[in-house]
């Protein structure tokens, strides 16, 4: 994939993501208002009120930041910019992709659609269809794989990431989100994902741990796939 094609691809995806994010924010406001009506299911009010507590949205916003960095990085390759600035941006982009974007996007898609097809009430209750359009659901849980694929198809020569250095950052971010997620329950007695309602505390702990292990596996896979592009197999830069 050429540089200009990658820029155009990222700009298109970023545009649709931005539109979807703004649409979701406005939708969430309507869900909060409607959720105050006792005739409406509380799942609607919950999603609207705690919209920024969903890992799906965290990942979605992070993808947008990554694509902005990628667009700037690809654009600078065609401009007369100092090599130091270019190398810094290359490094930031590589670490964002390998450490967070690849594992988190695949984890979101895998867990969401697995639970959805087993029993959608565990992750995305049918009552939400009244507000939530099908295309937005796919933007948040399916379309997120597109930036992952685009970046994977691009050539790469420098700044390959070591798995050992990537793990601590993922551990920190996952721990941060997990703390926030459980704090919402302890403060408001609300489980953002319904699957947690039917679990015992040991099961919740194991399920959360399983998600983290899955993310680590995806991180390892993503790093190995990128490292396959190295011409010099003896070292990472």
pLDDT in tens, 124-154: 999 888 888 999 999 999 999 999 999 999 9
Contact 237, 163 (CB under 8 A): no
Using 50 as the pLDDT threshold, list the residues of the chain that sit under it: 237
Tell me the two tokens of residue 83. Answer: 């090599």
- pLDDT, position 86: 83
pTM: 0.91
- Measure the CA–CA gap between 214 and 220, rounded to whole angstroms: 10
Task: Report DSSP state, residue 160.
Answer: P
- Measure the CA–CA gap between 201 and 209, rounded to whole angstroms: 12
- pLDDT, position 119: 97
Give first-to-last CA distance, the chain, whole Å. Answer: 23
**Residue (of 57, 53, 61) closest to 182 by Cα position:** 53
- Measure the CA–CA gap between 133 and 135, rounded to whole angstroms: 6
- pLDDT, position 237: 47
- pLDDT, position 48: 82
- pLDDT, position 55: 96
């Amino acid at each position: 994939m050429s540089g200009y094609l990658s820029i155009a691809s990222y700009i298109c995806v970023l545009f649709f993501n931005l539109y979807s994010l703004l649409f979701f924010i406005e939708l969430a406001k309507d869900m909060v208002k409607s959720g105050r009506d006792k005739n409406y299911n509380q799942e609607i009010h919950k999603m609207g009120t705690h919209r920024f507590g969903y890992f799906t949205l965290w990942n979605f916003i992070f993808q947008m930041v990554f694509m902005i960095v990628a667009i700037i990085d690809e654009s600078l390759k065609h401009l007369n910019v100092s090599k130091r600035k270019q190398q810094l941006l290359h490094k930031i982009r590589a670490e964002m992709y390998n450490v967070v974007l690849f594992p988190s996007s695949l984890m979101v898609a895998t867990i969401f659609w697995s639970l959805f097809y087993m029993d959608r009430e565990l992750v995305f209750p049918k009552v939400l269809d009244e507000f939530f359009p099908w295309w937005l659901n796919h933007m948040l849980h399916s379309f997120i794989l597109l930036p992952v694929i685009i970046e994977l198809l691009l050539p790469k020569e420098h700044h390959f990431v070591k798995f050992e250095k990537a793990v601590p950052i993922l551990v920190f971010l996952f721990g941060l989100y997990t703390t926030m997620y459980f704090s919402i329950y302890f403060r408001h007695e609300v489980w953002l994902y319904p699957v947690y309602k039917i679990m015992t505390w040991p099961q919740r702990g194991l399920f959360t741990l399983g998600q983290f292990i899955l993310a680590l596996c995806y991180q390892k896979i993503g790093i190995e796939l990128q490292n396959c592009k190295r011409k010099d197999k003896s070292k990472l830069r």
